[in-house]
Structure 1
Amino acid sequence: MGNEIPSDHFNFEDLKLFDAQLERETNIMGEWFSQQKFVHEQRMFGYELEAWLIDENTMPAPVNEQFLKMLNHPLVVPELASFNIELNSLPQHLSGNVFSDMQHNLGQIFDLCRKQAQILGSDMLAIGILPTVRETDLSLKNMSNSPRYRALNEQVLRLRQGRPLHINIKGDELLRLQHDDVMLEAAATSFQLHLQVPLSHATRYYNAAIILSGPMVAATGNAPFLFGKRLWEETRIPLFEQAVSVGGHGQRVDVEGDLKRVFFGTGYARNSLMECFQENFEHFPAILPVLFEDPPEKMSHLRLHNGTIWRWNRPLVGFDEQGEPHLRIEHRVISAGPSVVDIVANAALFAGAVKSLIDQQQPPELELLFNHARQNFYRAARLGLLADLHWFDDKQIDAQTLILEQLLPLARSGLERLDINNQDIQYYLDIIEQRVKSRQTGTNWQHRYAASHHYDMQAMTAVYAKLQQSGMPVHEWPV
């Protein structure tokens, strides 16, 4: 989805030809799984961080085209809205000082972006939803100047047969509205982790990422407000699901399709991740039927199609420098922010916990029903650390206790198995522990600050920005 496309208009013939290419590549992909063609585990790890450009009044600053041209950095690219950008990492080996290196590298690129933004009279901010964003900001006039985004909007509305998108989120308050384009998606900004996995354990990694989704959301919430309303602890999750609400094949005009393009998934992987790619082909019509001249072994059509289906845990296919295919799991559940050190701690928590789960002799997916993992995800998104979550052996446990007593020990053990530097393990997991013990996630800090300052979103965002720039982890932020 991240690559540029040559056109933003398509016709029936384009769709027909794209579907034929997609079918061919899906069949080749099936052969690759059967032949075990994917490269072995190299413990490679990376991320994407979506961020906001804001003006001196903390409002969205739609200047990403000028910003990116002046910055001219290969790892910083546009996002859907002209006030959003995305910071990417180079792949790193998941061992040793990877997390302190990650903090150093992310801090450097973060500072570089801030300095460039300041030259334009703006600044950069990482947060799940910008508290000051207005519905009027999320209009086509603020769409990034890119054919792929125009095409995405056109094709989503085509599949909806012109019906507007409906937002209905009930938290402490109720938000109901309808919107005529996909720009509401731009209000939800995430930190997405990429983990390269070996074919032999790919299903275990995928299922472990699903299991961890609820607790990870509870530990990392940073998006409680939208358009001034107090909604979910992680409002970003229902917002994104509803902002691109398109069902699968055979969707009726008057009924929302059962299988949405932003969704938690339909079940654990049973035999291979090929099940997800087959589901993509069978259940989801193409949104961007771009025709490539690449040989089918490049998987250009399959990868583009997969990029327009937003599972919260998404299998990806990539290629190494020798052109050999590899598998990655993209864990998409974490909000952007609050600080660089918090972001790195979130990555360490996930990487360690997922390693422990896949190393267990008894597959943990046999101990937690998929429906319970899905319920955990949405409960944690609604209630954060106060959510009651299902866990192994049919236990039900509040999220705070689960993270402190179950998840952190799993993460510590997994990071030790990955040969992560002991000081890094202690430092980053201590940040998670203090955050969860104090119950001061980014969401909870925003709630507390807003409640004690008359829900002044501009004032809160300005203080949030200063605290983010201080480098302190969020559990140390004063109100």
Structure 2
Amino acid sequence: MGQEISFSSFEQGDFDRYYQKLQQETALLERIMEKNGFSTRSPVAGFEIEAWIVDRHFRPSPINAQFLKTLDHPLAFEELAKFNIELNSTPTPLAGNVFSRLQKQLQTTWDSASRHAESMQNRLLMIGILPTLRQSDLTLKNMSDLNRYRALNEQILQSRGKPLHLDINGNEHLKLDHHDVMLESATTSFQIHIQVPLTVAHHFYNASIIASAAIVAICANAPYLFGKDLWHESRIPLFEQAIETGGYAGASQGPVRRVSFGTDYARKSIFECFNENLQHFPILLPEKLDTVPEAFAHLKLHNGTIWRWNRPLIGFDDDGTPHIRIEHRTPASGPTVIDSIANAAFYYGLAKNLCDEIMEKGPPIPFSQAKDNFYQAARHGIDAHINWIGGEKIRLHTLIQKELIKRAVLGLASLGVSRCDSEDYLDIMMQRLNNKQTGCQWQRQFIQEQGKNFKLMTETYLHNQQSGKPVSEWSIA
């Protein structure tokens, strides 16, 4: 969850003071990194999963404040919209039977939250975009009652000086204007975290960038928005356009944008990302923070308003030592708990294998190629054709099946993940390929067979989700 703030309105002096603090903390960060003052702890796994609260008609139910207050769970938080929540994990060493443990942890939290929703005559649903969602649901009256969100809305609209414009060309074309940032709440994600030593961080960041095309394709679960069939993973263009504002000089249409694939690999250090934050992105939330520079509070809050699909984060070990995490933001929420953990296993294994190769030989493909691959994959899913190592043009389905699953196996083995865990969860990914059924493909097949009955589709989707079976085994009936 994003960091809450005390106020939602600011004056110019607030921005000036904040920028001075941000400069100070960024310079301190560079000095500590140069002295290797960051955690050297072995990789640690974690995640955040966003979900929908829906009523008995499978429409969004804006009750998250009451729901969370009465649930009273330490891993459950509000999201931008009153009909969304976020469930977090606890940090878990990325070794041994890590995925079995993460599945048990998420399943326990999910079951508790689901039972509580049912006690309130509602349901919880994990999906990339709710098929029954209407544009009229995305209004400020349905914004969660947090200063952070009100301030973001005010600052983003002020920096743009015009309404948000959505224009997504997919199987169908959706074009509309919207007058607040609530469009962003239509996108719900499974955000995967990995803590890595500083010396490895920029290599793992680059590996995550290269892995993004395969991950976003095989995890695709968001084809429909407001009744329109768009991309396999429509969250990607939706989120980028829903908070479309850029760097200094109003460059909202330029190469440096707040929601983006990034501008380049990190060449020498992960510090380059935080320096880019300082140099290129205006402050949106100039909160007065009474903290020491070593807490990096201003830097962390500013970083939280820049949404790269792969985003470096600053955190702290239990002993107070700062650490680096990479947050991989491309997968959609759902379709099930076991699918989510399998998605994480594939990401961790593939990114670790690519990281090892990068450390030995450098990035195997140019950044521009990795970026193009990502958007092709988000649009066309596992049927996308991308440019791979050596300039080979290959269908993603074939590449994942023949090469990338094997890379993930090797990556997980090098992390010390147990063979049983590796095989169990990567087999789920392989079954998804063999059955040609991602969450997106299931949704499209349902609509093809049943017509555009999004209520029935959502009801059937939820029934399948509650069965606990991975999406590759779902039926349409």
Pairwise TM-score range, normalised by the shorter structure: over 0.9
In structure 1, the gaps of 5 or more residues are none
Q: Hey, what's the Cα distance between the residues in 2 that align with 1:333 and 1:49?
A: 12
Query: What does residue range 137-216 of structure 1 map to in structure 2 within 5 Å?
Result: 137-161=137-161, 163-216=162-215
Q: What does residue 400 of structure 2 align with?
A: 403
Residue of structure 2 equivalent to 1:124: 124
Aligned pair 1:345/2:342, yes or no?
Answer: yes
Whether the 8 Å contact between 1:208 and 1:365 is mirrored in structure 2 is no
Counterpart CA distance in 1 for 2:74 and 2:156 is 29
**What displacement does 1:423 show?**
1.5
Q: More displaced, 440-449 or 289-298? A: 289-298
- 1:376-391 equivalences under 5 Å are 376-391=373-388
Name the amino acid aligned to 2:188: T
Residue in 2 that maps onto 1:46: 46
**Counterpart pick for 1:451 among 442, 448, 452:** 448
**Contact 1:204 1:363 (C-alpha < 8 Å) held by counterparts:** no
Once the two structures are superposed, the pairs formed by residues 62-461 of structure 1 within 5 Å of their partners are: 62-161=62-161, 163-251=162-250, 256-360=253-357, 363=360, 365-461=362-458
> For the Cα contact (< 8 Å) 2:206–2:363, is it kept in 1?
no
- Report the secondary structure of 2:331's partner residue: strand
Cα distance between partner residues in 2 of 1:215 and 1:41: 28
Q: Is the 8 A contact 1:246 1:257 kept in 2?
A: no
- Quote the Cα distance in structure 2 between the aligned partners of 1:365 and 1:338: 35
> Which amino acid in the other structure matches residue 292 of structure 1?
L
> What does the per-residue CA deviation read over 1:410-454, in whole Å, with 9 as the maximum and x for residues that have no partner?
011111122222221111111100101221000000000011111
Q: Distance between the aligned counterparts of 1:357 and 1:126, measured in 2?
A: 29
One-letter amino acid of the structure 2 residue matched with residue 381 of structure 1: A
- Provide structure 2 residue ranges, at least 5 long, that are not aligned to the other structure: none
Render the CA deviation track for 1:75-128: whole Å, top value 9, x for unaligned: 100000000000000000011111011111111111111111111111100000
Structure 1 residue 202: Cα displacement: 1.2
Instruction: Pick which of 238-247 and 258-267 moved more.
Output: 258-267
SS of aligned partner of 2:51 = strand
AA partner of residue 189 (structure 2): S
The answer to whether the 8 A contact 2:336-2:470 is kept is yes
The answer to whether the 8 A contact 1:316-1:329 is kept is yes
In the alignment of these two chains, the number of paired residues is 476
Give the residue type in structure 2 aligned to 1:247.
Answer: G
Whether contact under 8 Å (2:39, 2:321) holds in the other structure is yes
Shift of 1:362: 6.0
The answer on whether the counterparts of 1:15 and 1:286 sit within 8 Å (CA) in structure 2 is: yes
Does the aligned pair in 2 maintain the 1:446–1:460 contact within 8 Å? yes
Instruction: Determine if the alignment matches structure 1 residue 473 to structure 2 residue 470.
Output: yes
The amino acid of 1:178's aligned partner reads: D
- Are the structure 2 counterparts of residues 31 and 333 from structure 1 closer, same or farther at C-alpha, using a change threshold of 3 Å? same
Which letter does structure 2 place at the counterpart of 1:169? I
- Aligned counterparts of 2:445 and 2:121: Cα–Cα separation in 1: 29
Aligned residues of 2:140 and 2:182 also touching (Cα < 8 A): yes
1:169 aligned counterpart, secondary structure: strand
**Which 4+ stretches in 1 moved above 4 angstroms?**
361-365
Query: Within 1, Cα distance between the matches of 2:170 and 2:3?
Result: 36
- Give RMSD over aligned pairs: 1.1
Identity of matched residues, %: 48
* Cα distance in 1, alignment partners of residues 57 and 362 from structure 2: 48
Note the alpha carbon deviations across 1:436-474, whole angstroms, 9 max, x for none: 122100000000001111110000000000100100000
TM-score by length of 2: 0.98
How many Å apart are 1:256 and its aligned residue? 3.2
Aligned residues of 1:45 and 1:195 also touching (Cα < 8 A): yes
Distance in 2 separating the partners of 1:243 and 1:64: 22
* Closer, same or farther: CA 363–59 of 1 in aligned 2, 3 Å: farther
What is the distance in 1 between the residues matched to 2:260 and 2:322? 26
Alpha-carbon distance in structure 1 between the residues aligned to 2:226 and 2:358: 47
Q: Equivalents in 2 of 1:157, 1:362: separation in Å? A: 42
